[in-house]
Amino acid sequence: MSAAHLCDRSPEVDPEELVTSMTPPPRFDRVRFDTYVPNENEPSQAAAVRACREFAERVAAPARAKSGWRRLFGGGDAEPHAPGLYLDGGFGVGKTHLLASLWHTVPGPAKAYGTFVELTHLVGALGFAEAVARLSQHRLLAIDEFELDDPGDTMLVTRLLRELTDAGVFVAATSNTLPDKLGEGRFAAEDFLREIHSMSARFTVVRVDGPDYRHRGLPDAPNPLSDVDLEASAATTPGSTVDGFAELCAHLARLHPSRYGRLVDEVTTVHLRQVEPVADEAVALRVVALVDRLYDRAIPVVVSGKPLSAIFTEEMLLGGYRKKYLRATSRLIALARDAAVHT
């Protein structure tokens, strides 16, 4: 039995599907506040649960008049609470768990959940006015992995959040970067300080501290397989794929990151042949986006070549995207460990 190849897939995602599919990914289908276990040594985690519960109650409360949000940012008497909740902290502390739990807690269908990449692609696919019209019908917009990687995103998202919060939409987001530090070290953020600060003013920031739970007390990642053993694993694992790492990286460049989730739909295990450290920033960011979609879907990863702990070069880890690369490495190692458990 020969395994399939991700490089043979070129999925398309209809704009309407982008809207209807804005729900938490499979890994977070069943998470709730009660299933989040705060680290006893990190009081900020229990405090974050309380803050998220309180925010969920505010979202579920009867809607305020839309003019109230305009008063908050356009003069007059300020509202007592910002319309946004921003979970800031390192990777592996359960921020996505809390965000998904918040989404699940808020009743009714008038809510949307997506990654930052998916949100910006939705705006591109529908057009700004139509995206605002659609999302304004929601009570809650939850945005995972919030980040501003270029000036265009800064302007787009600032305007989008202004329109939505003025329309009475609550926004909850997770990120590894404080809202007033977004874009720092990546582009000329000082040229966009007014926009960045305007956006950050719409959020109440809740810090979530702690070590990466994915590796707490667990062994290191499994050693890479030989090419022969990797091919044998792929051939005997129903629903798996096998691709050369370099070939897959090239294929990702031909797909918008919003399509990466569809790329790995119904895949049981991903096998990557001859993994090498990534030294190109554009390639590395595509790898990060793919890893996030694999992690969302709990798809194990098996590799040959270099260890996954070295998938990004030391130079890359010293740059402006350090936190993204460390999060992706953490998630990859967890997925590799999952693969070892099932073999």
Chain segment 255-306, per-residue pLDDT in tens: 988 889 999 999 999 999 999 999 999 999 999 999 999 999 999 999 999 9
Cα-to-chain-centroid distance, residue 14: 21
Q: What average pLDDT score do residues 62-89 get?
A: 57
According to the model, what pLDDT value does residue 88 have? Answer: 86
Q: What is the pLDDT of residues 289-299, one digit of tens each?
A: 999 999 999 99
Contact by Cβ (8 Å): 283, 255: no
According to the model, what pLDDT value does residue 188 have? Answer: 44
The tokens for 133 are 């019209």
Q: What is the pLDDT of residues 16-53, one digit of tens each?
A: 788 888 999 888 999 999 999 999 999 999 999 999 99
**How many whole angstroms separate alpha carbon 133 and alpha carbon 131?**
5
DSSP secondary structure code for residue 258 in this structure? G
Between residues 217 and 327, which one has the greater pLDDT?
A: 327
According to the model, what pLDDT value does residue 63 have? Answer: 61
* pLDDT over 90 at 218, yes or no: no
Least confident of 1-5, 42-46, 225-229: 1-5
The domains of the chain, with CATH numbers, are 31-211 (3.40.50.300), 214-341 (3.40.50)
Between residues 231 and 12, which one has the greater pLDDT?
A: 231
**Among positive and negative, which fits the CA dihedral 279, 282, 287, 288?**
positive
Average pLDDT over the chain, rounded to whole? 84
Amino acid, single-letter form, for residue 206: V
According to the model, what pLDDT value does residue 124 have? Answer: 84
According to the model, what pLDDT value does residue 187 have? Answer: 40
Q: How confident is the model at residue 155 (pLDDT cuts 50, 70, 90)?
A: confident
pLDDT above 70 coverage of the chain, percent: 82
E-assigned strand segments in 117-164 = 140-144
Cα-to-chain-centroid distance, residue 215: 19
- CA nearest 164: which of 192, 204, 194, 134? 134
Q: What average pLDDT score do residues 64-85 get?
A: 51
According to the model, what pLDDT value does residue 185 have? Answer: 46
According to the model, what pLDDT value does residue 71 have? Answer: 37
What region, left, alpha or beta, does residue 251 occupy, with left being phi > 0 and alpha being psi -120 to 50 degrees? alpha
Q: What average pLDDT score do residues 77-100 get?
A: 80
Q: How confident is the model at residue 181 (pLDDT cuts 50, 70, 90)?
A: low
> Would the pTM count as exceeding 0.85?
no
Location of structure tokens 């990151």: 257
* pLDDT over 60 at 179, yes or no: no
In terms of DSSP bridges, do strands 270-275 and 301-305 run parallel, antiparallel, or are they unpaired? parallel
Around Cβ 17, how many Cβ atoms within 10 Å?
A: 12
Q: Helix H segments across 297-321? A: 314-317
Q: What average pLDDT score do residues 180-194 get?
A: 48
